[in-house]
Amino acid sequence: MKLVVRGGEVLVGDPGDGRFERADVVVDDGVIAAVEPDAAAGDAQVVDAGGALVLPGFVDTHRHTWQTAMRGVCADWTLLDYFRGIRLQISTAFGPQDVYAGNYAGALEALDSGVTTLLDFSHCLNSPEHADEAVRGLRDAGVRGIWAYGMFPVPLPEPVFATPDDRLADARRVRERHFSAAGDTLDMGVALTELGLVPFDVTRAEVALARELDVMVTAHTGTVTSAQRPPEVELLQSAGLLDHRQVHVHCNACSNRELDLLADAGASVSLTPETELQMGMGFPIFARALERGLAPSLGCDIVSNNRGDLFAQMRLGLQAERARANQARLDDLEMPQALTLGVRDVLRFATLGGAEALGLGSVCGSIEAGKAADLLLIRTDSLHLAPLNDPVATVVLHAGPDDVDTVLVGGRVVKESGVLTGAPADRARSLVEASRDRIVADLEPRGGLLPPAPEGWFEVTTQLMAQNLAGAAVS
């Protein structure tokens, strides 16, 4: 099928260059064939982009999509509250249908806001059926991305996966059943259990599985600041478990030495400014990453806390880093003379930077001939976007999901005239509302969404982590 996106201001090439040109984007069989003015349309479908900015689809490198039905419940939670509420309580009530509902509605929410590619860190896999339904939810929504099989053992009274080997075996099953076709828009990854929550030999087995299946790894790294925190990245490096096909998320508590090791391994980092700022993880590590050649990417993380769009993450990340950098001058009773990050930097993090982090830099993340036609159109006729002086500044600092008029994934129009095609929103809303009602009812007699914290629970957890890592060593 041939399609022409006609007459827009197109962000061409590397988004970090911020170069917009009036042009047509010619799409042939889902791939960008040309970016040129006044392209011949012939019998091609024409998408009118007059008065619009045409950008590559956003790439979200860290999202727990399954949590969509829990929207907003973490609004006033710290990270430790999140661990107890979501990871140890709420996830135990999720059935396969709930994971499907969250992934389906959450992926549609992503598409609606211009996120065409995401990495789904799927760590609520309580059974093989949960895994199957998680994949089905993303596929039914039609998003591009990587679905990362979560290895975390949800603390169920009677777990289906009795041993870590059972979970590894199921991941192999999923790989064979759902991800054996070449050229698919959805690929598989492995999401590691946080270091120390399982014995280090299990961590070795999880990384070995990813290498066996030839898929990428993602991991929560350096999320908790504690005197007992182990040097996670150093332990992974000493064990030969670091490589370039990895996305390490947050990394706020990582030492400079650990970030150097990630850079040396060719790994990537995903930063999620909104949850990191709220939940006590610290300032996002933009500056420390960039100093080491670690190009950051961005993730929405959890809509159980914040909205699932990258406009917010670009804006919060940009201004949080500026505030952090400016404060050093202010502490010396001086005014900053220049800013650090710019709007072009964070736009790149949200597009090509994310694609490169996922190993998809040759597939998406920029508007160039030969890449998939993952595109979004932002209409600029709203008062809050007028007048259009700097298109990149407009996108980063003024626009939002409601300004996204049209979205294409692989040349397929999934949003048109501000509305998702095929009218899936009503079904998605119904699914997550029913899921929410069922989970809340199930948890009410068990203490609700966030039961009172047992005394000393975090100290007990850190002691367990130390025991699990006793066999690991930094060389």
Question: pLDDT for 186-198, tens place per residue?
Answer: 999 999 999 999 9
pLDDT number for residue 286: 98
Question: pLDDT for 53-100, tens place per residue?
Answer: 999 999 999 999 999 999 999 999 999 999 999 999 999 999 999 999
Mean of the per-residue pLDDT values for the chain? 96
pLDDT number for residue 227: 86
Q: Is the peptide bond before 284 cis (omega within 30 degrees of 0)?
A: no
Taking a C-beta distance cutoff of 8 angstroms, is the pair 53, 394 a contact?
A: yes
Q: How confident is the model at residue 450 (pLDDT cuts 50, 70, 90)?
A: very high
Residue 180 has pLDDT above 90, yes or no: no
pLDDT number for residue 423: 86
Compute φ and ψ for 401, nearest 5 degrees: -55, -35
pLDDT number for residue 280: 96
pLDDT number for residue 474: 83
What single-letter amino acid sits at 36? E
- Enter the CATH code of domain 2-56+368-420: 2.30.40.10
**% of the chain with per-residue pLDDT over 70:** 100
CATH architecture of 58-357: Alpha-Beta Barrel (3.20)
pLDDT number for residue 41: 86
- Cα distances from 141 to residues 101, 132, 414, in angstroms, run 11, 14, 9
Question: pLDDT for 340-359, tens place per residue?
Answer: 999 999 999 999 999 999 99
Residue 19 has pLDDT above 90, yes or no: yes
Q: Could you tell me where the DSSP H helices lie in 78-180?
A: 79-82, 96-112, 128-141, 164-178
Structure-token match 């001939």, residue found: 369
Are 2-56+368-420 and 58-357 equal in CATH topology? no
Q: How confident is the model at residue 228 (pLDDT cuts 50, 70, 90)?
A: confident
Residue 475 has pLDDT above 80, yes or no: no
What's the token pair of residue 474?
Answer: 């930094």
What sign for the dihedral angle of Cα 279, 292, 343, 64? negative
- Give CA–CA dist 135/170, Å, rounded: 13
Lowest-pLDDT range of 40-44, 297-301, 434-438: 40-44
- Give CA–CA dist 415/398, Å, rounded: 21
Give the single-character DSSP code of 194. P
* Residue 117: its H or E element: strand 115-122
pLDDT number for residue 125: 98
- Give CA–CA dist 151/137, Å, rounded: 19
- Give CA–CA dist 69/53, Å, rounded: 32
Q: Are strands 216-221 and 246-250 parallel, antiparallel or unpaired?
A: parallel
CA angle (177 as vertex; 176, 180 as ends), nearest 5: 55
Question: pLDDT for 256-279, tens place per residue?
Answer: 999 999 999 999 999 999 999 999
Domains of the chain, by residue range, sit at 2-56+368-420, 58-357
Give the single-character DSSP code of 452. P
Q: How confident is the model at residue 179 (pLDDT cuts 50, 70, 90)?
A: very high
pLDDT number for residue 5: 98
Q: How confident is the model at residue 373 (pLDDT cuts 50, 70, 90)?
A: very high
pLDDT number for residue 1: 80
pLDDT number for residue 472: 86
Q: Which one, of 247, 161, 167, 267, lies nearest residue 209 by Cα?
A: 167
- What is the average pLDDT across 199-208? 97
- What is the average pLDDT across 417-443? 97
Label residue 223 exposed, middle or buried (CB < 10 Å: 0-12, 13-18, 19+): buried
- What is the average pLDDT across 245-253? 98
Q: How confident is the model at residue 109 (pLDDT cuts 50, 70, 90)?
A: very high
